[in-house]
């Protein structure tokens, strides 16, 4: 039974989801036009500097923030790829989660601000994000890839690309309501759509095609559900049953498990898209599981290395 606050959130999103979500194609087209003509601010909130050291670097064709709590040596790195249907910038909810990840785990959070569609495409951005990810997976500290929605799909695509190129994999994947098939070809997505207050199939197909660019939407670089699953690390997936992306999360779980990947799928009853980002009890529970997984990854790496001190952060770019 969903909590009262999550039911209220779903009701509120039902009322305003056409504006803040991706349910109305005309509204989504306006979002694309607005981002092209009046790009949104993408930097972290000012209060983050009070608790964390925030470094902005440029080295892969886009800005990249590194967030580490003051006075702490990171024991692992988290590559966080934000959602927004590939057309909207990182927002307040993302930064709130990043602050919690940095403050509650011994982690450095690496946050690339990748180019948005239609200026940015999978064909151009995926190789650059993979190069950044390679720096993390070859550093002494373990690396975890994490992302929500479009960023969840990107996280999986980057991990697949690393495996294809024979590079070291991340230690773990954490996918929050991941968008894994840009074409949304599973008919069950349309069955869930009336209950999803934030997403609809056609608007997402539109933005997915923008991100695909010259590639087919079915290309694994765009839709990692169609990519290879072997070689992936242990993966946790968090998704609500009022999310049209749920059928593809289930298909991913089946395919990855068949390929020998350990997948922990958390289906949250009554929850909307990207519920771990919201201040509801179910979201807090999901975040605590994620934090526990990061702490375990750090402890496991420390014990494997013989406990000889915390490894240094990732190399500067």
pLDDT tens digits along 100-149 = 999 999 999 999 999 999 999 999 999 999 999 999 999 999 999 999 99
User: Quick one: average pLDDT of 156-180?
Assistant: 97
Is residue 84 within 8 Å of 150, Cβ to Cβ?
yes
pTM above 0.85, yes or no: yes
> Which positions ≥6 away from 82 have C-beta within 8 Å?
89, 90, 91, 94, 111, 147, 148, 150, 151
Nearest to 211 by CA among 63, 21, 35: 35
Residue 68 is inside which H or E element, if any? strand 63-69
Domains belonging to the chain, first-starting first, are 4-303 (3.40.50.1820)
SS3 state of residue 249 = helix
Query: Which tens digits make up the pLDDT trace of 49-102?
Result: 888 999 999 989 999 999 998 988 899 999 999 999 999 999 999 999 999 999
Mean pLDDT of the chain: 93
Query: Is the Cβ–Cβ distance between 167 and 138 less than 8 Å?
Result: yes
Q: Following CA atoms 145, 91, 60, 233 in sequence, which dihedral angle do they give, to the nearest 10 degrees? A: 10
pLDDT at 311: 34
Q: Are 32 and 207 in contact (CB under 8 A)?
A: yes
Q: Which residue in the block uniquely carries the two structure tokens 């013989």?
A: 306
């Amino acid at each position: 039974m969903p909590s009262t606050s999550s039911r209220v959130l779903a009701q509120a999103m039902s009322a305003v989801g056409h504006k803040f979500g991706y349910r109305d194609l005309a509204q989504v087209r306006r979002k694309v036009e607005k981002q092209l003509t009046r790009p949104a601010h993408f930097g972290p909130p000012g209060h983050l500097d009070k608790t964390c050291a925030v470094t902005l670097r440029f080295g892969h064709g886009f800005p990249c923030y590194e967030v580490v709590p003051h006075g702490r040596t990171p024991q692992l790195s988290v590559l966080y790829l934000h959602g927004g249907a590939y057309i909207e910038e990182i927002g307040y909810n993302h930064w709130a989660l990043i602050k919690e990840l940095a403050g509650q785990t011994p982690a450095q959070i690496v946050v690339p601000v990748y180019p948005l569609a239609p200026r940015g495409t999978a064909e151009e951005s995926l190789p650059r994000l993979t190069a950044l990810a390679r720096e993390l997976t070859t550093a002494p500290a373990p690396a975890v890839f994490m992302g929500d929605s479009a960023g969840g799909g990107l996280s999986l695509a980057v991990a697949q690309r690393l495996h294809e190129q024979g590079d070291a994999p991340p230690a773990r994947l954490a996918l929050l309501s991941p968008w894994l098939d840009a074409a949304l070809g599973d008919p069950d997505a349309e069955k869930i759509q009336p209950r999803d207050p934030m997403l609809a199939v056609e608007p997402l197909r539109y933005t997915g095609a923008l991100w695909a660019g010259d590639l087919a939407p079915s290309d694994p670089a765009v839709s990692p559900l169609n990519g290879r699953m072997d070689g992936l690390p242990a993966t946790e997936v968090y998704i609500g049953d009022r999310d049209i992306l749920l059928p593809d999360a289930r298909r991913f779980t089946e395919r990855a498990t068949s390929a020998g990947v350990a997948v922990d799928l958390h289906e949250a009853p009554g929850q909307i898209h990207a519920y771990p980002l919201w201040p509801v009890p179910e979201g807090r529970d999901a975040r605590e599981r994620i934090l526990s997984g990061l702490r375990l990854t750090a402890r496991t790496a420390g014990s494997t290395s013989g406990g000889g001190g915390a490894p240094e952060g990732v190399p500067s770019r």
